[in-house]
Structures are given as C-alpha cells and as structure tokens.
C-alpha cells in the first residue's frame, strides 16, 4: 500500500518555504533546537559569505519531487562549490556548466547499463520531475570550500528525511554511492525498500566497483516488479 492523502490542504504561514507535502512531513523538525540554530547560522552565512546554492534553490530537491511521488533516492555529499554549479539537486549542475567528473562517470555507467547516450547537459531536473529525489546530505556549502558546512546540523535534517521516506512509503530504491551515503542505510528498512550500494562515481574510485554496477536498470526493474512506472533516464 502507498501513502494516501499526503498532500495537505493549502498551508499558510509556513515556517519554511518548502513544498506542501514535505512541509507536512517535516513541520515538527522546524521547531527543534538543531533546526533553529542551523537556520540562524545559514542566514548569517548567506548575508556575509558566498554560499551555494542560491537561497531560492536551497530546497530544490524537495520542491521538484513531492513526498508521495518519490520512487528513487540518490544521495550526494554536499553541493558543488564552484560559481554557477549548484542547483539544489545532488550531482546536478545548471545547463551550460561543464559536466563535473563524477557526473560524467554516472553518464558513462548509464550508457553502459542502458545504452543511453552521454548527455551534453548536466542538469538532472528531468530525473527529479519523475520521482528521483536527488538529495545531498548537506544542503549548503561556502564558495571554493568543499565540505565547509559538514557537521553544522544538516545531517540531522537529511537523516530524518530518509527515515520518513523509509517508514511512510513502500518500494523506494535508495542508491547509495560512497561511504558517506552508505552510512544512511541504517535509517532505511531493507525489508520494504531496495538499497543499491557501490563506491562513489568519483574518478578516484569509480573503477573499483561503480562501473558495471548497473544501478539504473536494476532500479527500473525493481520499480516495474512493484507496479511502478520506471524512470526515463535520458537527459536531453
């Protein structure tokens, strides 16, 4: 059974500007001490430093993929730290931006797995629109300082998101690349969901098990076996 009536009536005076079905699931988080401290710190950082992604894209993953629409979750580390790259979706960059090495390896595996040509654009919005939640463990980063917002509180939030998906939805595919993403497997019920793991697609590790892992066809086969529409992985 899938969750019914997740979308609430029109919500007013939301404490956080996030898609309605996600707000319904997460509203208790926004009253917790860690969130109050985190949001205050992030606001100060946006005012005093160059932080990515832009504030309007901070919750792009949630706004692009409503809670009840989730079919697949792909976990990233933190946003890209270069100018113009981060767009709020893990592994994704804005159109016109050079495709980062890890994403290029993802495309190469996709081509080997499903014979889908390597895309010229690195914008993965089309996946998010189909139900692929592209969530980073940490949602912000300071310019040119990778992992600069690690351990400031985002992990509490994203772990709670994973717990909610695991407990309230059925037959979701969790794709966990690398040790940091795999650490979240403790928050996932593997009796009702599929967990796919491999090394990270980074050039430093991709040849040690990412290439040849066939996550895209495996995920689609699982979705079809459970009566769910598969993902069209083609990026135009």
List residues with catalytic annotation: 78
Contact present, 95 and 119 (Cβ < 8 Å): no
Q: Which residue has the tokens 């980073």?
A: 136
Alpha helices in 51-146 (DSSP H): 60-64, 101-114, 125-129
Contact present, 216 and 194 (Cβ < 8 Å): no
Give exposure, 103-138, as e/b (b: 16+ Cβ within 10 Å). Answer: bbbbbebbeebeeeeebebbbbbbbbebbbbbbbbb
Token couple for 45: 């950082």
Q: How many helices (H) and strands (E) does the chain have?
A: 8, 6
How many other CB atoms are there within 10 angstroms of residue 147's CB atom?
A: 13
Q: How far is Cα 4 from Cα 68, in angstroms, rounded to an integer?
A: 8
Beta bridge partners of 141: 52
Residue 173: name the closest of 190, 198, 156 by CA.
Answer: 190
| Helix, coil or strand: residue 26 | helix
């Amino acid at each position: 059974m899938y969750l019914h009536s997740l979308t609430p009536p029109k919500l007013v005076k939301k404490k956080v500007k996030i898609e309605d079905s996600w707000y319904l699931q997460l509203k208790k988080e926004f009253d917790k001490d860690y969130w109050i401290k985190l949001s205050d710190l992030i606001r100060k950082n946006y005012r005093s430093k160059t932080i990515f992604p832009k504030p309007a894209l901070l919750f792009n993953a949630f706004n692009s993929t409503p809670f009840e629409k989730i079919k697949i979750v792909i976990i990233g580390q933190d946003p890209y730290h270069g100018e113009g790259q981060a767009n709020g979706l893990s592994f994704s960059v804005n159109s016109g931006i050079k495709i980062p090495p890890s994403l290029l390896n993802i495309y190469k595996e996709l081509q080997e797995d499903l014979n889908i040509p390597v895309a010229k654009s690195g914008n993965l919005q089309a996946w998010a629109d189909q139900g692929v939640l592209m969530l980073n463990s940490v949602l912000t980063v300071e310019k040119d300082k990778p992992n600069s917002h690690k351990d400031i509180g985002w992990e509490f939030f994203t772990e709670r998101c994973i717990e909610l998906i695991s407990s309230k939805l059925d037959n979701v595919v969790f794709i966990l690349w690398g040790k940091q993403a795999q650490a979240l497997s403790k928050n996932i019920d593997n009796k009702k969901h599929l967990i796919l793991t491999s090394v990270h697609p980074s050039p430093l590790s991709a040849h040690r098990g990412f290439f040849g892992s066939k996550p895209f066809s495996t995920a689609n086969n699982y979705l079809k076996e459970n009566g769910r529409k598969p993902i069209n992985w083609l990026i135009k």
